[in-house]
Amino acid sequence: MKGCMDYDARARRGREGALDQDLLDRARLLYRQERFEESLAVCRRAVGETEDGAIVVVGGAPCVLKRDAVVLAAWCLYDLRRFEACRSWLFKAQDRGWLSSGDVEAAVVTMWIHNCEGRYEAVIDEVGRLLDRADPTLDLVDRGWLFYTRGAALRMTGDMAGALDDLMTARTLFRLVGRRDLRAEVGNLVGLVRFRLRRFEEAEELFLDAVEMNKSLGLTRRVADNLQNLGLTCYKTGRYDRARKLFQEIMGTRHLSADRICRARIALGKLDVLQRRFADARSNLMAAYTLAVEQHKPREECLALEYLGDVFREEGRPAEARRYYARAMVIARKIAPEGDLMLELLRREGECLSTLDRFPQAEVLLGQAMALARRQRDPFELGVTQRCRAELLARQGCLIEGIAAMEAAVSVLSGIRADHELALAHLTAAALYVDAAGDPGIAAEIVDRDTSSGPSAEPAAPVVQVMVTRARRHAVAAEFLFQRVGEPYWERRAGQLLAVVDGHGRRGGGREPGRSPADVDPRAMVVVSRAMRRIMSRCDMYAPYTDPVLVTGETGTGKELICRRLHDASPRRAGPFVPVNCAAIPADLFEREFFGHARGAYTGAESEAPGFVAQAEGGTLFLDEIGDLPLHLQAKLLRLIEYREYRRLGDPRERTADVRLVAATNTCLTDLVEEGRFRKDLYYRLRMMTIDVPPLRERREDIQPLLDLFLTRMTGRATSAADIFLPARLESIASSRLEGNVRELMQIARDGLLQHGRTDRAAAPPSRGDPDAGAHGRRNGRPSSDELHRLLDSCGGNKTALAKSLAVSRSTLYRWMSGLS
């Protein structure tokens, strides 16, 4: 609460002035309840002034109490936005001797008025002057106020780094003196800076912390401010339903001030724009604009106009949108010529001009926006402006440069949780690659440019097919992101584009000359179902990062292949991929196998040995069945994840590790956490990036393509399941539960292939309960002698190829063949 030097001031004072203390306590309580008029009236009584300005002699009132009442009254006038009255009150208080001319908090009140009036540079200069000449014994609360005030001004000028430094200093000072109210207030502003820097997880944590502190202090209206910011974080990260509930909760708060209702309506209006509820958006934004004008809130007035322009732009009416942007820009220039509002409006205006084919003007404005985004270190606006610039280049016919700019935009936006804008960038990139696929010359130039800049992770393929592959990757990513954030309109747009891409693939596809089906990568994945497309999109999204990934799913769903895909698509693809089965290593040996050991660490350890962590240096460490990791090692794994540090068994030296951890499990880790078999903190660290692989029965579109893939691998030539199985059998396979998932399907393919040749096509389904059922003469998975002879002939006498087609080791095959001639 403002206007109070110390909550424990009463403990340091005697009985003198008890009446004034009671009045001041009453005024403070009213202020906390945001009943500013009533608090102001009580403050006037406490200093002995009536409403008409007459002086009443209050005997024995301590000066410090009178000073506190004066400052609290000034804060009341500030919060009532009666700025001239506030200045006059402080001048009168100094003139009457109630307030010293060097009172820091009184100066802070005046500087907050300057902040509201947009005089940020004056505030920054004045705080610097006060800090430079401050007495070394200056109260910590006063120091905190100065840093807080300057941090708020720096934020509004776009200097986020400077703002963060000052605000974190203020938060620390308020924590040291036990001012939880001010700590929560500054923490909320730090959250806004983190939000501006698109560090959304950190911002959300700060807002939640402020909610808890303000609730505990009974500051319900400040809780509304924290919930507002929390809602903004939710909608920026694609959690629209959660955001809407938070904004509606704020709107339903009793006795809410008009400015808070205004901000909540603006947020709801912006959310309506994103969800294309244009009538609701107009209603909320016009109501917010009216409130902003009435309350003299220039920033809110500017935002309402900006978002009203967005309504027209999204409706395809850029000329009308520009009229709103122009009005908003006049206000933004007065607030801060190089602030965040100007940046947003320059980018929006440039986007509209590009749509209207006014390219030179659009280029100028987007260039200004790019420069401002770099100065403000705003990755969100940098990425979005880069996307707009890419669209501008493509409209001008510069497709190659447009694709390069769009890939840069995707790269920037992938580094922050801004799903809507990232999805738009993916969608536009997909459309540009489709255009490139229609011009083999441009496609070849793009591939040559990419090849000259470094080795590509993509396999060699015809240039048009490379364009189609890239277009598909971006379209799938866009569809997944729009589906995740709940934007059905854009999800349909992405699906339509994906259909166009698939049409290009069918027309331009085909196997490369000289490439045989036997060359199929054993790690190749079938991606036909919508569920698998989303998983591939998520893999591509997670691949660039170093954070751990948790892959969940039933046994046999292909979790290891997903983890390998993450590795192969990441910047670590040239490094090792080290798989570790946590369930297969005895608990007493796990630590030395995992971390390695020093010489003499245990009996028989005659030399040091690196563990799995060291083997994975520069690459990816894959922990399969992580739920079976011994509990005592989970803390060490957590340290490895958080600090990239570990110790070998028997070695006191701390080592650093450059590894990315991916983990898989077929068990429910939350159940293990509840049972005390898995650490909660490790679980929360792992679940930051998750991929859930559905069973085959939930993605039946993948079943026949998987059969085709397995049969092609086993025979060494292009083989379709329709060539091996009767239609009735294929229908039976497609409708079965396939509890063993891909492994069971692979066994079905193997059994069908072994039956094939005895009959025209495999018909009888193998019984899971009868080990003798299946191929003729086959018992316990072993083919008959005749079958082995036939299969060996089909492989040209190559036993290695035969073992691979049977999915058994060469030693097993040699044992089976030992009795054959």
- Give residue 550's pLDDT: 94
Strand partners, 578: 621
pLDDT band at 807 (very low <50, low <70, confident <90, very high): low
- Is residue 549 located within the same domain as residue 687? yes
Q: What angle do CA 206, 210, 214 make, to 5 degrees?
A: 175
CA-wise closest residue to 47 among 66, 27, 63: 66
Q: Looking at the predicted structure, is the pLDDT value of residue 511 above 80?
A: no
- Is residue 704 located within the same domain as residue 571? no
Count how many domains the chain has.
Answer: 3
Per-residue pLDDT of 433-490, as tens digits, reads 988 888 888 888 888 887 765 544 444 457 888 888 889 888 888 888 887 777 888 8
Is residue 214 included in any domain, yes or no? no
Q: Looking at the predicted structure, is the pLDDT value of residue 250 above 50?
A: yes
DSSP 455-490: --SSPP--HHHHHHHHHHHHHHHHHHHHHHHT-HHH
- Is residue 440 located within the same domain as residue 570? no
- Is residue 668 located within the same domain as residue 735? no
Q: Looking at the predicted structure, is the pLDDT value of residue 789 above 50?
A: yes
Per-residue pLDDT of 277-328, as tens digits, reads 999 999 999 999 999 999 888 999 999 999 999 999 999 999 999 999 999 9
- Give residue 402's pLDDT: 92
- Give residue 763's pLDDT: 45
Q: What whole-number distance in Å separates Cα of residue 69 and Cα of residue 76?
A: 10
Residues 705 and 529 sit within 8 Å (Cβ to Cβ) = no
Determine the average pLDDT of the residues in 369-378: 87
The last residue of one of the domains, among 645, 673, 693, is: 693
What DSSP element (H or E) covers 579?
strand 577-581
- Is residue 558 located within the same domain as residue 681? yes
- Give residue 9's pLDDT: 40
Kindly tell me the burial class for residue 512, based on how many C-beta atoms sit within 10 Å of its own C-beta (0-12, 13-18, 19 or more).
Answer: exposed
Is residue 222 included in any domain, yes or no? no
Determine the average pLDDT of the residues in 795-803: 69
Is residue 17 included in any domain, yes or no? no
Query: For residue 600, what are the contacts with CB-CB under 8 A and spacing of at least 6?
Result: 650
Phi, psi for 274 (deg, rounded to 5): -60, -35
Q: Looking at the predicted structure, is the pLDDT value of residue 68 above 70?
A: yes
Domain span at residue 564?
Answer: 542-597+608-693
Quote the pTM value: 0.54
Is residue 371 included in any domain, yes or no? no
pLDDT band at 16 (very low <50, low <70, confident <90, very high): very low
Determine the average pLDDT of the residues in 584-608: 78
Is residue 572 included in any domain, yes or no? yes
Residues 383 and 425 sit within 8 Å (Cβ to Cβ) = yes
The last residue of one of the domains, among 664, 693, 722, is: 693
The last residue of one of the domains, among 693, 708, 740, is: 693
Torsion angle in degrees (nearest 10) through CA of 698, 702, 708, 713: -90
- Is residue 644 located within the same domain as residue 707? no
Is residue 69 included in any domain, yes or no? no
pLDDT band at 6 (very low <50, low <70, confident <90, very high): very low
Phi, psi for 426 (deg, rounded to 5): -60, -45
Place of tokens 């948790």: 550
Residues 338 and 160 sit within 8 Å (Cβ to Cβ) = no
CATH number at residue 630: 3.40.50.300
- Is residue 672 located within the same domain as residue 565? yes
- Is residue 562 located within the same domain as residue 621? yes
Residues 378 and 344 sit within 8 Å (Cβ to Cβ) = no
Torsion sign over Cα 263, 265, 268, 269 = negative
Per-residue pLDDT of 253-263, as tens digits, reads 777 778 888 98
Angle between helices 63-79 and 104-116 (to 10 degrees): 0
- Is residue 724 located within the same domain as residue 807? yes
Is residue 712 included in any domain, yes or no? yes
- Give residue 432's pLDDT: 92
- Give residue 232's pLDDT: 86
- Is residue 707 located within the same domain as residue 678? no
Q: Looking at the predicted structure, is the pLDDT value of residue 770 above 80?
A: no
Looking at every residue in the chain, the average pLDDT score rounds to: 82
Q: Looking at the predicted structure, is the pLDDT value of residue 151 above 90?
A: yes
pLDDT band at 74 (very low <50, low <70, confident <90, very high): very high
- Is residue 792 located within the same domain as residue 771? yes
Is residue 461 included in any domain, yes or no? yes
Of the ranges 123-127, 234-238, 386-390, 632-636, which one carries the lowest mean pLDDT score?
A: 234-238
- Give residue 730's pLDDT: 85
Residues 361 and 396 sit within 8 Å (Cβ to Cβ) = no
CATH number at residue 383: 1.25.40
pLDDT band at 574 (very low <50, low <70, confident <90, very high): confident
DSSP 685: H
- Is residue 688 located within the same domain as residue 703? no
Q: How many CB atoms lie within 10 A of CB 89?
A: 23
Residues 813 and 802 sit within 8 Å (Cβ to Cβ) = yes
Q: Report which residue type is found at 701.
A: E
